[in-house]
Amino acid sequence: MKSTVVWLRRDAPRSLLVGIAITLFWIVAAACAPLITSFDPIKIDALNALHPPSGVHLLGADSVGRDVLTRILYGARIDLLMAVAGVAGPFVLGTTIGLAAGYLGGWMDGLLMRILDVTISFPYFVLVIAIVAIMGPGLQSYLISLTVVNWVTYARLVRAETMVLSNADFVLAARVLGYSPSRIMLRHVFPNAIISASVFLMTDAVLTIVLGSSLGFLGLGVQAPTPEWGVMIAEGRTYLGTAWWISLCPGIALCSLAFGLSLVADGMAQVLDPES
């Protein structure tokens, strides 16, 4: 049997390795932000307003003199938090409900399907905006809205896999041996049922970051002066003709992180594909 190290070196898809490298780069950059830059990401410095890229401000300064590179590094913390916390809640809630509904069936499965029908009937983006608007702008409202709306996607994926696995030979054998339903669900069905949901989780992380940045751009997400890439892009749109770096640099950062997570999702899909 090949060791894990050998598998990572020889058999791992290149897209997975590149995606992991890009994602780790932003994780390390966010964690080491105070060591990389000495500027305050929030403190205003009017004397350096709209300062172009130079040896002092590598990526320039924004309209109130804040260092753009510093705000990008600290903003990575917010966007990575959105990627992790934004999918963790829906994943845990959705997989739990989907597993129980798919295996036990009955009224629970019927109730889940009705909730799915109602939720899917509304546009996803509009529903998230509506919840955020009711609760008030902010990161907490955004994360709660994602949990309320997005858990149904994971529940649907896990439910479908669970219904197929419930009739698999190893599950039938476990029933014959007298194992309890909870043991069969957790030890035999669950590890196999969450594979597709785990792959989707990485793709969903990309959508979560992009959606969170979009809400920040619209003023419904993270609020200024907190450094967040969507907020930074919105702050620089007035100066695109004279100070392009204010919006362009965080835009490139957002695209690179989204690209890295997309490559991880694509690589995971190849690794977990039973036919590959």
pLDDT of residue 276: 52
pLDDT in tens, 209-258: 989 888 888 888 888 888 999 999 999 998 988 999 999 999 999 999 99
What is the predicted pLDDT for the residue at 33? 94
What confidence tens digit (pLDDT) does each residue in 77-120 have?
999 999 999 999 999 999 988 888 888 888 877 888 888 878 77
Sequence-separated (6 or more) residues with CB below 8 Å from residue 237: 247
Give the torsion sign (CA, 238, 243, 245, 246). Answer: negative
- Decide if 43 is inside a domain: no
In a domain, 166, yes or no: yes
Residue 117 CB-half CA count within 13 A: 6
Rounded to whole angstroms, the Cα distance separating 275 from 58 reads 48
Which pair of structure tokens corresponds to residue 84? 């992790």
Domain assignment present for 38: no
Residue-wise pLDDT for 21-53, tens only, equals: 999 999 999 999 999 999 999 999 999 999 999
Q: How many CB atoms lie within 10 A of CB 270?
A: 15
Closest CA to 157 of 98, 86, 203, 116: 98
DSSP state of 215: H
- With respect to residue 224, please indicate whether it lies within any of the assigned structural domains: yes
- Residue at 46 is within a domain: no
Q: Report if residue 39 sits inside a domain.
A: no
* Domain span holding position 172: 10-33+60-272
| For residues 50-57, average pLDDT | 92
Cis preceding-peptide flag for 90 (omega within 30 of 0)? no
State how far the Cα of 159 lies from the Cα of 164, in Å rounded to an integer: 9
What is the distance of C-alpha 186 from the center of its chain?
25
SS3 assignment, position 13: coil
In total, the chain counts a number of residues equal to 276
Would you say residue 45 lies in a domain? no
Whole-angstrom distance, CA of residue 219 vs CA of residue 192: 41
205, part of any domain? yes
Domain total of the chain: 1
Instruction: Check which CATH number belongs to the domain holding 245 and give it.
Output: 1.10.3720.10
61 bridge partner residues: 67
Contact 70, 41 (CB under 8 A): yes
Q: What is the DSSP string of 57-126?
A: STT-B-TTS-BHHHHHHHHHHHHHHHHHHHHHHHHHHHHHHHHHHHHH-HHHHHHHHHHHHHHHTS-HHH
